[in-house]
Amino acid sequence: MRHNSRRFRRNWIIAACVIIIAAMLAWQFWPGGSTSPAPDANGPDANGPGQVVQGGGADANAAGPRGIPQSPADPNDEIARLQSISAVAAVKMVTDGEKLLTEKLLAEGRALLSKALLSGSLGEATANSVRGKLEALADEMIFSRQIFDGDPYTLQYAFEPGEVLVKVERKLALHVPTQILLKINGIARAETIRAGQMLKVIRGPFHAIVDKGDFTMDIFLHREGCEPAYVKRLRVGLGMNGSTPVGMWRLRLGSKRDRAPWFPPPSAEGERSIQWGQPGYPLGKMGYWIGIEGIDENTMRYEGYGIHGTNDPASIGQAASLGCIRLADSDIELVFSLLYEKWSTVSIRS
């Protein structure tokens, strides 16, 4: 009798364990019952507004949650790495890149051509040819409404109800001004965007390299996990007597303005501030001003420098300013729409 009682208790314990295990398994796998997070209904594979529906590219693994790019690497480090490329290697990149373009692999071809050009190892004729191809590619791949397979810098986004463009830019961490997003989508005012509307967006930031030797500004895209993508070359005016400081800068937060008042530097004795629209106003038709701040040991001691338009177009390509970087009216408008406060850098080289 005692033996039967022990066997009953043992069987009861086994049965209870089986019931508990079965209940736990049911809870884990029953729909909605798991404590593990469910797939994000708003993720990149979901349909409907508020979602990335096309784009991505080869660097998808470098992106954060929901495909949002993380903070970009220092573009100066990347350019320094590219400048270690030999002339022979750079020419081979050009050959391979042009072959990829003929095969319609535009993103891959652009990456190789950009690396070759930004290395600084190409001869002048080859560099000019490559630059022309890359500027045409930028017009086609970046500044048009079309999306190209494999392009890590562009994607399409469908707006959720109540979303506004500036919040979408921050949500996706695009690091590009909303002006360029409106322009490439042919939209006059951000307020007209409606829920479900599809917009092409650019993953930035854009950066600039200013060469004092030939009075040029080169614009390129670069973010973490992506190869740099060259965009455009512009002519600039620079400071008299070498007064534009060499080194690394970034856009100062809160510094971008149009119709900005002009304040003379401390070195300009007898000068007075001039408001937009007043006689002698020097910052060009729309008064665009982009303030920059030094971020290396060569530039951190300087203040008051910026990129701006000019009322003296003949000074472009000349050392004629008080130290700032001048651009023609059409060019400063473009640069104003591309460079992003705090994230975009400006490398000034001798």
Q: What integer pLDDT is reported at residue 77 of this predicted model?
A: 78
How many domains in the chain?
A: 2
> Coil, strand, or helix at residue 211?
strand
Q: Are residues 197 and 244 in the same domain?
A: no
Task: Give the amino acid at 3.
Answer: H
Does the pLDDT value for residue 2 go beyond 60? no
186 and 51 in a common domain: yes
Higher pLDDT, 5 or 276: 276
Does 29 or 53 have the greater pLDDT score? 53
Q: Report, as an integer, the average pLDDT of 208-235.
A: 96
One domain, residues 276 and 320? yes
Tell me how far apart the alpha carbons of residues 42 and 167 are, in angstroms, rounded to a whole number. 16
Q: Flag whether 216 is in a domain.
A: no
In this predicted structure, the answer to whether residue 17 has a pLDDT above a threshold of 90 is: no
Identify the band that residue 19 occupies on the pLDDT scale cut at 50, 70 and 90.
low
Using DSSP's 3-state secondary structure scheme, residue 243 falls into: coil
Give the Cα separation of 305 and 318 in Å (integer).
Answer: 17
Q: Tens digit of pLDDT for each residue in 146-187?
A: 999 999 999 999 999 999 999 999 999 999 999 999 999 999
pLDDT score for 30:
40
As a whole-number percent, the residues of the chain with pLDDT over 70 amount to 77
> What is the Cα Rg of the chain in Å?
28
Q: Tell whether 37 is covered by a domain.
A: no
Residue 132 counted as domain residue: yes
Q: What is the pLDDT of residues 252-296, one digit of tens each?
A: 999 999 999 988 766 666 667 899 989 989 999 999 999 999 999
Domain boundary among the residues 203, 224, 250 is at 203
Cα end-to-end span (Å), the chain: 101
Average pLDDT score, the chain: 83
167 in a structural domain: yes
pLDDT of amino acid 265: 66
Tell me, what DSSP letter sits at residue 72? P
- In this structure, are 167 and 259 located in the same domain? no
Q: What is the CATH number of the domain that holds 316?
A: 2.40.440.10
Q: What pLDDT is recorded for position 20?
A: 52
On whether residue 214 sits in a domain, the answer given is no
Can you give the pLDDT at residue 84? 85
Q: Are residues 242 and 339 in the same domain?
A: yes
320: containing domain: 236-349
Taking only the tens place, the pLDDT of each residue in 284-309 is: 999 999 999 999 999 999 998 999 99
- Of the pLDDT bands very low, low, confident and very high (cuts 50, 70, 90), residue 11 is low
pLDDT at 50: 58
In a domain, 156, yes or no: yes
Same domain membership, residue 150 and residue 65? yes
Rounded Cα distance, 155 and 72, in Å: 18
